[in-house]
Structure 1
Amino acid sequence: MATVSNLIKDMPNGPLDAYRKRATFDWRSFKLTLEGEDHVRFQKKLWEFIRTNPVFQRPTGPISLDEARRRSNAQLKVLRDKNINPLQMREKFFYTFQYDGSVALKICLLNGMVLTTILALGTKQHHHFVGELNNGNYICCFALTEISHGSNAKGIQTTATYNTATKSFIFHTPDFEAAKCWSGGLGKCATHALIYAQLITADGVKHGLHLFIVPIRDPKTHLPFPGVTIGDMGEKIGFNGIDNGFIIFDKYSIPHTSLLNRAADVNEDGEYVFAVKDRRKRYGSLMATLSSGRTSVVLIASHYMSLAVTIAIRYSAVRKQFGPTDEDDELSIIEYQMQQLRIFPHLAATYAMKIFSNEFYKTMVEFLVSRFTSGNLNTDIGIEIHALSSATKPLCSWIARDAIQDCRESCGGHGYLKMSRLGDIRADNDANCTYEGENNILIQQASNWLLNQWTNVINGRPVPSPLGSADFLVDAEQILNTKFNQSTIENTLKPENLLLTFKWLVCYYLKKTYQRVKDLKSNGMSDFDIKNNSQMFLARTLSLVYGEHALLMYFIRCLQDPKWKINERDVLTKLCSLFGAVTLEKRLGDLYACGYASSTSNIDNFLREGIVTLCKDLLDNTVALVDVLAPPDFILNSPLGMSDGEVYKHIKEWFFKDKETFERPSWWKEIRSKL
């Protein structure tokens, strides 16, 4: 308790006291157990650094796009000087997203994804770039997407043709549709870019997409080199501190050593050679590198949800409307069943995502570190990370999208004000649904992997699933033979029973999708058309239930950790059950139509009554549960969600701080036609 008192300040007194006193656990002790002392110490240090450093002081009013870019760059520099970056801090770094997504994402891209990619796909001849990037002499962005091609990377048109006379690669953009775009940091800041281009050897043979580190701006003038055209893409819905840009090459020559050549190379004589001959290992290495960004998105989404549910629950505990009779005191809107149904499932999902994303990100980092330090590559882990991230990145970004919207609506008109911050959180999270793989395209990669596992199952071969996300498939036929047989709400809501239902759904949709693919193939349909015609209601659903199963599985693993006190495990178990029950309730049609539950099984009533009961049981603890998640007030930055609960006091302060609030408009004479 002494450690808790030293690390975590208690909440100030105010209107939220009534709910905090009803909690069945100590939120500070719970936070320390959930996040770990190392994380809590880091948060304390980070928040104090941001609070006291002038570059992080929030502007008092609207700022220009150029000023947003300047601020973000200044903040990135001071964070880099303090060695606060994804490679140094790992999953702890992502708390910075709670302050401002722009600076956090920018440093994530420039100091995280870029460096990881160079270390993973480059060799010793590229390691000097790491030092230059770390000390800020170079700024490098990541450029894959083109104006007319994004998800279909094979369709990318930028070329890198080897010239044996000059021993260099000639970069060329055939037309504007082939211009690289959406690269964060490219528009104004980057000196170098990691560019994906179609490699062509001097004999005219095309070898597919390869990655190069390309100097693009003169370090003396910060102007583009001759043959390079760079532009800024302008204002976006969110993340306007990030200078997304486009780049066009006109027969631009770069050194031969610019090719990241760990897997394949072109020697000085122009011969294309494989450094890694095993195609599966080359694929596993590439997939694991791409997966780092996708696992990051899941973490980012969980932090955005933490902010949104904190604001919505604190506001709902203070906001009062109506009562049993006109004479009674008004009730806090959090007491109403519909408000609980709108918000509490999102609180449960936030905990599910937080637990999953932290553990999954650690796994991904450990995999990459082992790759860098020992050179060993466990291909099965790399491919499973790719599959799991391809399912959970879409799933979690969509969960966060819906949660933030519901939190906005649950705060009524005040939630629509800019000051609530919910609009900004919603806008920033919206990008999570598109970058690092557009969700509806990316999700297909998970189903492709699962279909390969089903081939293993029917042929009696092992299912390579070292992370345990699909190892149960070896028992698929036994699982599919089970039916829902619970007779009480209590048993239905047990996490292990909910998990069994998810296993059944994964097995069912995997078998059904495989059969559809087989039928289409027997009818002579091409591989392309087979994939296209097996997505809706089949492969897409398969990937989503696979991701839902993973989130619940990780949650249950967390519950089994002996670190929890009895009262802490009790409230966590209710959150776990609520997450599972709400997710399954949305799939009742599947459970009935697919034969898992009979028409007399009562599964619909058990789940729905269970959800109502769980929301009611969690009511006393919801404010304490968001206290666990919430950053300090100056980071949360929402009058609706301040820790003291003085909502109306802070709204008044927000209204009154701007002198223009009370001024007559400069165009006042135009208001009426005649004066």
Structure 2
Amino acid sequence: MSTADNLIKDLPKGPLDAYRKRATFNWKSFKLTLESEDGVRFQKKLWEFIRTNPAFERPIGSISLDETRRRCNAQLNALRDNNINPVHVREKYFYLFQYDGSVPLKLSVINGLVTTSILALGTEHHHFVEELNNGNYICCLALTEISHGSNAQGMRTTATYDIKTKNFILHTSDFEAAKCWSAGLGKCATHAIIFAQLITPDAVNRGLHLFVVPIRDPKTHLPFPGVTIGDMGEKIGLNGIDNGFIMFHEYSIPRTCLLNRTANISENGNYVLTVKNERKRYGSTLSALSSARSSITLISAHYMILALTIAVRYSAVRRQFGPTNNKEDELPVIEYQIQQWRIFPHLAATFAVKIFSVEFYKTMLDFLISRFTGADFSADIGMEIHVLSSATKPLCSWLARDAIQDCRESCAGHGYLKMSRLGDIRADNDANCTYEGENNILIQQASNWLLSQWTNVINGRSVPSPLGSADFLVDAVRILNAKFNQTTVEDTLSPENLFFTFKWLVCYYVKKTYERVKNLKSNGVSDFDTRNNSQMFLARTLSLVYGEHALMLYFIRCLQDPKWKVNEREVLTKLCSLFGAATLEKRLGDLYDSGYASSNSKIGDFLREGIISLCRDLLDNAVALVDVLAPPDFVLNSPLGMSDGNVYKHIKEWLFKNKENLERPLWWKEILNTKLSRSKL
């Protein structure tokens, strides 16, 4: 028996067999190559743990918000007790999002972001990590305030040093300055990392600093005097997470609560910078958040996997219409061109996002580890990671948003049922578009860096891009002199030719945005207004095409890996081409308007014919491709997407297992709406 057969169970027989037999590759072998043997073994272990642990048993019907929070906490404890956390299992940890996003998100804050912040910015005074790992402390991260989010420098919570007591005094001036949205704060946290403006005894504001603050009495779990804590209440999704708000009223904390690796304050109130450059100190203060942004691309991939699995399997079973009026001639809706167009480009994007996010997350982790261990690392790598995460976090979360919505609509009425799970997946992913930097604000950081690289290009300097996401800019003159010259659909769909077009668009938009900025400044426009007035159709688009280019770059690198069998590389190449073609088809206006393609070049026809052709080619492999990605049925938890394809059997089971669906309502008398009817009761 092969390793793949030994590790991966056969799927049950059923209506999906007809499509599985048409696949051109072995899905088990493909999965083993894509995920690695170590990854498949971890999944097997994780899913068995979730299947057998009582904390993960799914409730029947709806439960209260409080019970939802309680279940999440019990699941978090079960994972911690079994040493399953972001620190130990790295990128494999993200498979948990396929079960329920609340659990891994909350754990990643407590054991990921919090731990990273303490290790990166704390010193020998801060012995919290072990207490966090063993569950004695629960610590949250509190940056955002009611009236300030993305503008971190505008935070209003203050920590004023008092020479008499040798303590900091934390204070919240009003409700608008209350820390909010902190995951784990509402009900559970014993400590919080508070971002506050440090005020020295001479009344000088030294800027945003981090403090580890005890907030609840460990004996009673009640807030300490001077601390007000509340819950943010029910959200659109991710309700297992107890997001909370906190306010301080002249709350005194020890001087050692300051995370003082980059800046410290002496007992007599002297402020000492260990990182002499204030801008670098501030950057270090916020650097721990970069890892969260890169992780969101990986979270997006897992949500897309769930949605595409449900939509493809359902579409391969659901029959409607046909060439005759005979019911036996009804076709699965996946056979229809319009359904393929609605789903398959998203399937291609799912592979693109997954391939990129896994590799990018590994790079980010290696970089963080190099910082903690004192190993040599390139500052250019750190900057490029920041820029890539600032572009791809918005891009990938929006790709997931659109994919999930189209999958929901592709499943029609049944997709609107809560049992389909598509609504919950959509709601959970929605948070990806706003946290760790609201997408439209965050994306500006990528365009700012790209514009600075264009200055390097103009002045004949190199472009520092060790990850290869922007090194081609040095060749921008040659790239921009090229025009679309393909004469066939096949040549147009070549991954290399599509990839070149993305390069061209990045060069075009960085040059065009730079010229717009230069023109505004030459007319006396302020720096603030210049940035504000160069976003729409310019800087924003620049960042997005840069992100799209990055996804294609990583996809092509993956195709070049010798690990793939010929038939596996063949289908992966089609997915890569479909992702590139479908993305560029949406930018046809740019390609024509910029002069890259002439009006008689047929680029529009070639791309659209290519998309139709690729969708048709992928039809035989669509079910097998989602089999490669899909979790077990009890994790997927959708009657529409079960691996046996018995959709209607599972819908019936779902409806009948909740007895309330079959019972007369308690208020049935109110249904009889005439006085006469009521009098006869």
Please indicate the TM-score interval, normalised by the length of the shorter structure: over 0.9
Deviations, residues 50-76 of structure 1 (Å, cap 9, x unaligned): 000001000011100000010000000
CA distance in 1, matches of 2:667, 2:251: 53
CA distance in 2, matches of 1:585, 1:117: 42
Q: Is the 8 A contact 1:391 1:442 kept in 2?
A: yes
CA shift, 1:376, in A, is: 3.9
- The percentage of aligned residue pairs carrying the same residue is 78
CA distance in 1, matches of 2:447, 2:115: 30
Correspondences of 1:152-167 after superposition (within 5 Å): 152-167=151-166
Determine whether 1:276 maps to 2:255. Answer: no
Q: Is the 8 A contact 1:309 1:343 kept in 2?
A: yes
Correspondences of 1:566-577 after superposition (within 5 Å): 566-577=566-577
CA shift, 1:122, in A, is: 1.5
SS at match of 1:22: coil
For the aligned residues, what is the CA RMSD?
1.1
CA distance in 2, matches of 1:288, 1:254: 25
Counterpart in 2 of 1:605? 605
CA shift, 1:283, in A, is: 5.8
Counterpart in 1 of 2:47? 47
Relative to structure 1, is the Cα distance of residues 383 and 369 closer, same or farther in structure 2, using a 3 angstrom cutoff?
same
Counterpart in 1 of 2:524? 524
Relative to structure 1, is the Cα distance of residues 286 and 253 closer, same or farther in structure 2, using a 3 angstrom cutoff?
closer
Deviations, residues 383-415 of structure 1 (Å, cap 9, x unaligned): 111110000000000000010000000001000
Matched length: 674
5+ unaligned residues in a row in structure 1: which ranges? none
Q: Is the 8 A contact 1:285 1:377 kept in 2?
A: no
CA distance in 2, matches of 1:124, 1:630: 45
Counterpart in 1 of 2:387? 387
Which shifted more, 279-288 or 90-99?
Answer: 279-288
CA distance in 2, matches of 1:587, 1:253: 56
Paired AA for residue 175 in structure 1: D
CA shift, 1:380, in A, is: 1.0
Counterpart in 2 of 1:134? 133
Paired AA for residue 390 in structure 1: S
Counterpart in 2 of 1:244? 243
Deviations, residues 605-638 of structure 1 (Å, cap 9, x unaligned): 0000000000000000000000001000000000
Correspondences of 1:157-236 after superposition (within 5 Å): 157-236=156-235
Q: Is the 8 A contact 1:115 1:130 kept in 2?
A: yes
Counterpart in 2 of 1:617? 617
CA distance in 2, matches of 1:139, 1:584: 46
CA distance in 1, matches of 2:376, 2:168: 30
Counterpart in 1 of 2:34? 34
Paired AA for residue 153 in structure 1: A
CA distance in 2, matches of 1:17, 1:644: 8
Paired AA for residue 186 in structure 1: L
CA distance in 1, matches of 2:161, 2:568: 62
Relative to structure 1, is the Cα distance of residues 230 and 382 closer, same or farther in structure 2, using a 3 angstrom cutoff?
same
SS at match of 2:644: coil
Q: Give the TM-score, by structure 2 length.
A: 0.98
Counterpart in 2 of 1:253? 252
Determine whether 1:60 maps to 2:60. Answer: yes
Deviations, residues 638-674 of structure 1 (Å, cap 9, x unaligned): 0000000000000010111111222111211111223
Deviations, residues 138-183 of structure 1 (Å, cap 9, x unaligned): 0000110000000111111000111122221110001100000000
Q: Is the 8 A contact 2:339 2:410 kept in 1?
A: yes
CA distance in 1, matches of 2:161, 2:38: 49
Q: Is the 8 A contact 1:69 1:240 kept in 2?
A: yes
Counterpart in 2 of 1:355? 355
CA distance in 2, matches of 1:570, 1:202: 68
CA distance in 2, matches of 1:533, 1:580: 30
CA distance in 1, matches of 2:28, 2:284: 41
CA distance in 1, matches of 2:509, 2:643: 45
Correspondences of 1:533-544 after superposition (within 5 Å): 533-544=533-544
Which shifted more, 474-483 or 374-383?
Answer: 374-383
CA shift, 1:269, in A, is: 2.2
Deviations, residues 258-317 of structure 1 (Å, cap 9, x unaligned): 111222222222122221225575466456422101011111010000000000000000
Deviations, residues 124-148 of structure 1 (Å, cap 9, x unaligned): 222x100010010100001100000
CA distance in 2, matches of 1:130, 1:397: 31
Q: Is the 8 A contact 1:285 1:379 kept in 2?
A: no
Q: Is the 8 A contact 2:208 2:282 kept in 1?
A: no
Counterpart in 2 of 1:289? 288
Paired AA for residue 151 in structure 1: S
Q: Is the 8 A contact 2:210 2:285 kept in 1?
A: no
Counterpart in 2 of 1:483? 483
Q: Is the 8 A contact 1:159 1:198 kept in 2?
A: yes
CA distance in 2, matches of 1:620, 1:247: 54
Paired AA for residue 190 in structure 2: T
CA distance in 1, matches of 2:272, 2:464: 30
Q: Give the TM-score, by structure 1 length.
A: 0.99
Determine whether 1:508 maps to 2:508. Answer: yes
Paired AA for residue 168 in structure 2: F
CA shift, 1:377, in A, is: 4.4
CA distance in 1, matches of 2:459, 2:423: 51
CA distance in 1, matches of 2:308, 2:29: 20
Q: Is the 8 A contact 1:106 1:242 kept in 2?
A: yes
Counterpart in 1 of 2:547? 547
SS at match of 1:124: coil
Paired AA for residue 398 in structure 1: W
Determine whether 1:583 maps to 2:591. Answer: no
CA distance in 1, matches of 2:188, 2:282: 32
Q: Is the 8 A contact 1:285 1:382 kept in 2?
A: no
Deviations, residues 400-432 of structure 1 (Å, cap 9, x unaligned): 001000000000100000000000000000000
5+ unaligned residues in a row in structure 2: which ranges? none
Counterpart in 2 of 1:80? 80
Which shifted more, 374-383 or 60-69?
Answer: 374-383
CA distance in 2, matches of 1:606, 1:280: 49
Correspondences of 1:6-17 after superposition (within 5 Å): 6-17=6-17
CA distance in 2, matches of 1:481, 1:277: 45
CA distance in 2, matches of 1:519, 1:259: 45
Counterpart in 2 of 1:450? 450
CA shift, 1:520, in A, is: 0.7
4+ residue runs of structure 1 moved beyond 6 angstroms? none
CA shift, 1:104, in A, is: 1.3
